[in-house]
């Protein structure tokens, strides 16, 4: 199922790594975060090569809804309470600056990528209290935000928070142009990283700095990202014939939806769930795509689905991304992961922070994003939930499956995979790796295909 962005963009192919080399920086992953990091490093006079296992933009960048926004659901009121006003202001400032930087680059390089400035809204049909608090917190941190009750959606809302000067664009056309300025090797899967050696099937790169920007880091130790991140899937349907809002919308209620205009289409999103927990799919309830389609028909009678696709997002324990040093035990390693649903602004924030760190420049906002930041009460609670899911997935490894069932175990750490009938994939409930029907790897952190085995004893 192709996204609307893949439908009209063909990024030029690149060569694979030609053999061993030595460079100051290796960036693993040619999505938005990796390409932008390499671009800013080059601007700073530092050579970086990007190694991509597949093709440029073939990971999660192609599946986004491409909202460039500092509005990351309900976050600012919580951030102030968790980290204090100064740190929360760094988060807000870095994301607002990211929006401005996209605009600057797009204008300077004349990138034809449907960049449109527009407001972003959070809405609720249930109540106003959380929205009012969020509007106040965002405003206190310097964001142009306001609470209101008016919006363009085809149903009544209790209230909205409106952020001004946000934007939307075509992520692959932007990526295509930016990648032209960067040294990228495709079809070059990184197999192993040890100290200053990055090993691929095509050769070994010796480097001072390695940036892990390929979604979920595949190295388990040090870093332990598997213990403090999980993945979520969410779904999008592109509707023709729906009324198109000027603003971008996100519902904060349990069944809240995402709305965003894209040309003559409405992108309607929702149905998020932890990867590998497939209740609500065809096996156990309404198909998530069908849920979106039926909401679309109900809200916009006569509309027609022209495309649908899904996204996979890395979620952290406290809801903030991990950007910075990979681990205290690996001084030359860096990471950009855990972007949640906010990959566009966070990719830009990552690129700016990592360029500063590698270049030895001061970067006060880096602390709030640091993977080594202090552990909050919320993070502790999430850790317990995450640990329970992992323990359950691992325990199933040792249980016999049903009589005729053929359910593989995950090659990452051995959890029992779950069959996802909606997308016809095997999904891991522990850390979110995914495999197709034949066991070929779709999403990491697993590095290899899974072995299908027959538990029926036949």
**Where do contacts with ligand FES occur on this chain (CB under 6 A)?**
226, 410, 412-413, 415, 428, 430-433, 445-446
* Mode of pairing for the β-strands spanning 183-185 and 48-51: parallel
Distance in Å, CB of 394 to ligand FES, minimum = 8
DSSP string, 331-385: EEEEEEE--TT-HHHHHHHHHHHHHHHHHT---TTHHHH-TTPPPPHHHHHHHHH
Distance in Å, CB of 195 to ligand FES, minimum = 24
Distance in Å, CB of 223 to ligand FES, minimum = 14
Distance in Å, CB of 429 to ligand FES, minimum = 8
Q: Which is nearer to ligand FES, 420 or 433 (CB)?
A: 433
What are the Cα distances from residue 359, in Å, to 44, 203, 312? 8, 26, 31
CA distance 178 to 32: 9
Q: Which is nearer to ligand FES, 187 or 447 (CB)?
A: 447
Q: Which is nearer to ligand FES, 341 or 412 (CB)?
A: 412
42 with 203: CB under 8 angstroms?
no
Q: Which is nearer to ligand FES, 44 or 221 (CB)?
A: 221
Q: Which is nearer to ligand FES, 293 or 431 (CB)?
A: 431
Q: Which is nearer to ligand FES, 106 or 428 (CB)?
A: 428
Distance in Å, CB of 389 to ligand FES, minimum = 10
Distance in Å, CB of 217 to ligand FES, minimum = 12
Q: Which residues contact 259 (CB under 8 A, 6 or more apart)?
A: 153, 245, 248, 249, 250, 266, 267, 268, 269
Q: Which residues contact 144 (CB under 8 A, 6 or more apart)?
A: 163, 164, 165
* Cis amide prior to 222 (ω within 30 degrees): yes
Q: Which is nearer to ligand FES, 280 or 414 (CB)?
A: 414
CA distance 59 to 339: 13
243 with 208: CB under 8 angstroms?
no
CA distance 137 to 92: 10
Distance in Å, CB of 446 to ligand FES, minimum = 5
């Amino acid at each position: 199922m192709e996204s609307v962005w893949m439908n009209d963009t063909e990024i030029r192919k690149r060569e694979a790594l030609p053999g061993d080399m030595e460079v100051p920086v290796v960036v693993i992953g040619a999505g938005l975060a990796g390409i932008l990091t390499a671009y800013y490093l080059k601007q700073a006079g530092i050579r970086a090569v990007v190694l991509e296992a597949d093709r440029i933009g073939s990971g999660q960048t192609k599946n986004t809804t491409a909202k460039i926004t500092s509005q990351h659901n309900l976050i600012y009121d919580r951030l102030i309470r968790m980290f204090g006003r100064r740190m929360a202001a760094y988060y807000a400032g870095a994301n607002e600056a990211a929006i401005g930087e996209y605009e600057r680059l797009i204008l300077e390089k004349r990138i034809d990528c449907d960049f449109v400035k527009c407001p972003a809204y959070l809405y609720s049909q249930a109540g106003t209290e959380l929205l009012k608090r969020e509007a106040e917190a965002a405003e206190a941190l310097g964001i142009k935000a306001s609470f209101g009750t008016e919006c363009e959606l085809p149903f009544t809302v209790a209230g909205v928070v409106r952020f001004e000067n946000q934007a939307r664009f075509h992520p692959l056309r932007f990526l295509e142009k930016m990648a032209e300025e960067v040294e990228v090797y495709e079809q070059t899967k990184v197999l192993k990283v040890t100290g200053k050696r990055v090993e691929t099937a095509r050769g070994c790169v010796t480097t001072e700095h390695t940036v892990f920007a390929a979604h979920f880091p595949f190295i388990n130790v040090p870093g332990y990202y598997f213990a403090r991140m999980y993945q979520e899937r969410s779904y999008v349907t592109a509707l023709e014939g729906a009324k198109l809002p000027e603003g971008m919308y996100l519902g904060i209620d349990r069944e809240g939806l995402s709305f965003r205009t894209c040309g003559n289409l409405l992108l309607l999103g929702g149905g998020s769930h932890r990867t590998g927990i497939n209740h609500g799919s065809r096996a156990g309830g309404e198909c998530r795509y069908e849920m979106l389609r039926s909401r679309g028909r109900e809200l916009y009678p006569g509309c027609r689905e022209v495309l649908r696709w899904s996204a996979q997002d890395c979620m952290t324990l406290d809801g903030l991304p991990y950007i910075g040093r990979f681990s205290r035990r690996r001084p030359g390693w860096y990471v950009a992961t855990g972007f949640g649903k906010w990959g566009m602004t966070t990719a830009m924030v990552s690129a700016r922070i990592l360029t500063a760190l590698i270049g030895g420049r001061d970067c006060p906002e880096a602390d709030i994003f640091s993977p080594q930041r202090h552990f909050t009460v919320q993070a502790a609670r999430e850790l317990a939930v995450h640990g329970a899911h992992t323990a359950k997935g691992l325990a199933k490894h040792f249980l016999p499956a049903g009589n005729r069932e053929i359910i593989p175990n995950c090659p990452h750490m051995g959890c029992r995979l779950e069959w996802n009938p909606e997308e016809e994939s095997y999904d891991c409930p522990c850390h979110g790796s995914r495999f197709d029907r034949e066991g070929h790897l779709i999403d990491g952190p697993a590095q290899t295909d899974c072995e299908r085995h027959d538990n029926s004893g036949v």
